A and B are shown apart, each in its own frame.
Chain A
Amino acid sequence: MTDNKAVEILLVEDNPGDVRLTIEALKEGRLINHVSVAEDGVEALAFLRQEGRYADEPRPDLILLDLNLPKKDGREVLTEIKADPALRHIPVVVLTTSTAEQDVLRTYDLHANCYINKPVDFEQFIEVVKSVGDFWFSVVILPSGKMR
């Protein structure tokens, strides 16, 4: 298992309310973490590729990706991540607002690792975040070479 090293999370989300909520939920979930926030798709990709002012930023262990983003939407970001050999092993959790959106995404076959419906119920959200944490642990114990 991992040590007490903080989990590096990139949260791609433009709505500050949701950013804060996610951070709070992660806190409640007792997951030791460090969250970086990108507010649009372009920024997210720059962060991931450590371009420009993000040169010193760490590679995230997990990406939480909102779908409705300015400049480049979540679907495009996901496509680019999965097309990039350096990034494609990072697990991506897509945050959606409805099951209908998930259906649409699945038809595009974009290989997101997980979908989370942003819940209204905060307690539920905490549960979800916890399970994301568990999910992440189960993923990171695999040798990175076997990651798809």
Chain B
Amino acid sequence: MVNLKPKRPLLASVLNSVLRFLPTGGSLPEDVWRKRHRFLLALLWVHVAIIALVGVVFGYRWDFSLSAWFTDGTVLHTVAESLPVAFFAVIAAYNGASRAFRATAVGFGLMTSSAILVHLSGGYIELHFHFFVMLAFLALYQDWIPYILAIVYVAIHHGVVGVLWPEAVFNHTAAFNAPWTWAGIHAFFVLWASVASVIAWRFNETAFARTKLILDSAGEGIYGLDMEGRVTFINPAAIKILGLDGGQIVGKSMEQIVRHTGRDEAAFHVGGSPILATLKDGAPRHGTEELFSRMDGTSFPVDYASTPIFEREELIGAVVSFRDVTERQRTEHALAEKAQELARSNVELEQFAYVASHDLQEPLRMVSSYTQLLARRYKGQLGSDADEFIAYAVDGATRMQRLIQDLLAYSRVGTKGKEFVATDCEVLLDRVLGDLMVTIEESGAVVSHDPLPIVRADETQIGQLLQNLIGNAIKFCNQEPPLVHVSSKRNGKGWIFSVRDNGIGIDPQYAERIFVIFQRLHKREDYQGTGIGLAVCKKIVERHGGRIWVESEPEKGATFYFTLPAQN
């Protein structure tokens, strides 16, 4: 076996595991980054103010000489101390710079604030906690460069200042005597504070990445709206479908990226879109095959859903997802057209069968009538051959006539069907048995039945159906007497009827075939017929939305089942 995965050296694999655990950094969505940056910038300015006011609040000396700027314990000196922090705050606010640069400026500003606060307190240990807090806040940028630079800043500050001016950062003698050791202890805690922040950052990043992955890979257009109807986020599919050319979209109002109209173009006035209504009442909306218009005026049909977003039970916006259904509509239309065409051609075909078989009767009548006239007038005068020939001609013509009549009856099921009405099957069966009286009497058949229901059906056709099935049951029987039993049972919304006999039965392999037009299982000499009866039955049942089938074995009788809808 070949191991396709090359074995990695241990060190590389350990390193890889560590790296995999680390966040990638720099991946915050623009809008999220902006928000956090605004917050951290504000935090920075708060520090500027606090540092500048330390002298005033703690009653430092009001000395306005030039040297006071550089002398501890004066109001001017604390104001001067705030200036480097203000400097970082100013450059961090510069929009033209990169995110990393601005975040680094904020990081330096915050670290400087910490250092100054420690310094102003005379190295109080509690003020060192400020570094940890600021580092934790800095992790909000989820960016390695500012973060590492801030840590480096702390290390250098503690190292250099701690060694050179230990009393500026430490306030106990142990640290004065061993500044490197104590700087190391501080660095150790800073390191672990950082690790904790990085872990939180990593989880945060994973959550963002998953959301982004979902949004980016979605085929549907998805965008978010705030309560003012402004876009809070938008996924690439939405940008592509709406033809928005990559500019700043977040923050625009929905009307500036898409115009939502109903099925016809003028259905909603501006602001009247149901999507925006979700922002008013917090109820989800969805629509099918409505129109979205792009800013260039072109429009396309969409299915959309507008879902409210709640935060602590307060409505804060909505997420809109939509799908361009142009292609689906095209397919549906094409399909509908095909179906219509098919229905039309079916009707035409039935009409054709009807007209053809109807018109075929005329010439056939001539053939058959005149051969019969020949037979009547000249029988025994033309020789026995002539008599035989004429007999075959008469027989053929008669058979053809029957075929045509059956074909007519078959096509009439579809073309001359009547409306469905409430039909009492028991009354209907009595009538059918009346029509079959001669057959029943001749064969000595006994036809029994259970109580039968009222169904919604074409009365004439169901009569024909029963007549064909009972007629068959009597016809395909060698026993005396033929026994036929008709029953029914409720099945969901309809009825299952059965016609059971004690006849010759049907080999199950022919169970489907017998319902096909002109298919016969027996020689004409044995059992008469054109093979149309069951085909007509099938067509009638199917026209009523039902199904017909047979369960049988040779010599064991057959039971024909069919389903019909109930009265309602």
Q: Which residues of A contact B (CB under 8 A)?
A: 15, 17-18, 21, 24, 28, 97-98, 100, 118-123, 125
- Interface residues in B395-444 (C-beta closer than 8 Å to A): 397-398, 401, 408, 412, 416
- The CA of A141 and the CA of B362, in the complex, are separated in Å by 36
Q: Which of B361, B373, B412 contacts A122 (CB 8 A)?
A: B373
Q: Name the interface size band of chain B.
A: 10 to 19
Tell me whether A24 and B373 are in contact (CB under 8 A). yes
Shortest distance from the beta carbon of A99 to any chain B beta carbon, whole Å: 10
Chain B neighbourhood of A17, CB < 8 A: 366, 370
Report 20 cross-chain contacts, Cβ distance below 8 Å, ordered by A residue: A15-B362, A17-B366, A18-B366, A21-B370, A21-B373, A24-B373, A28-B376, A97-B361, A97-B362, A98-B361, A100-B416, A120-B361, A120-B365, A120-B369, A120-B397, A120-B401, A121-B372, A121-B398, A122-B373, A122-B376
Tell me whether A122 and B362 are in contact (CB under 8 A). no
Shortest distance from the beta carbon of A13 to any chain B beta carbon, whole Å: 12
* Interface of B (DSSP majority class): helix
- Interface residues in B335-375 (C-beta closer than 8 Å to A): 358, 361-362, 364-366, 368-370, 372-373
Shortest distance from the beta carbon of A128 to any chain B beta carbon, whole Å: 12
Tell me whether B398 and A98 are in contact (CB under 8 A). no
- The CA of A123 and the CA of B361, in the complex, are separated in Å by 18
Interface centre among B366, B369, B412, by most A CB within 10 Å? B369
Shortest distance from the beta carbon of A36 to any chain B beta carbon, whole Å: 22
Residue of A nearest to B416 (CB): A100
- The CA of A121 and the CA of B368, in the complex, are separated in Å by 7
Shortest distance from the beta carbon of B399 to any chain A beta carbon, whole Å: 10
Shortest distance from the beta carbon of B518 to any chain A beta carbon, whole Å: 19
Chain B neighbourhood of A28, CB < 8 A: 376
Residue of A nearest to B405 (CB): A98
Shortest distance from the beta carbon of A23 to any chain B beta carbon, whole Å: 11
Tell me whether A122 and B416 are in contact (CB under 8 A). no
Shortest distance from the beta carbon of B419 to any chain A beta carbon, whole Å: 16
- The CA of A121 and the CA of B398, in the complex, are separated in Å by 8
Known: A24-B373, A120-B369. A98 touches B358 (CB 8 A): yes
Q: 5 closest pairs, A vs B, by CB?
A: A122-B372, A120-B368, A120-B401, A17-B366, A122-B369
- The CA of A121 and the CA of B358, in the complex, are separated in Å by 17
- The CA of A119 and the CA of B364, in the complex, are separated in Å by 11
- The CA of A94 and the CA of B469, in the complex, are separated in Å by 34
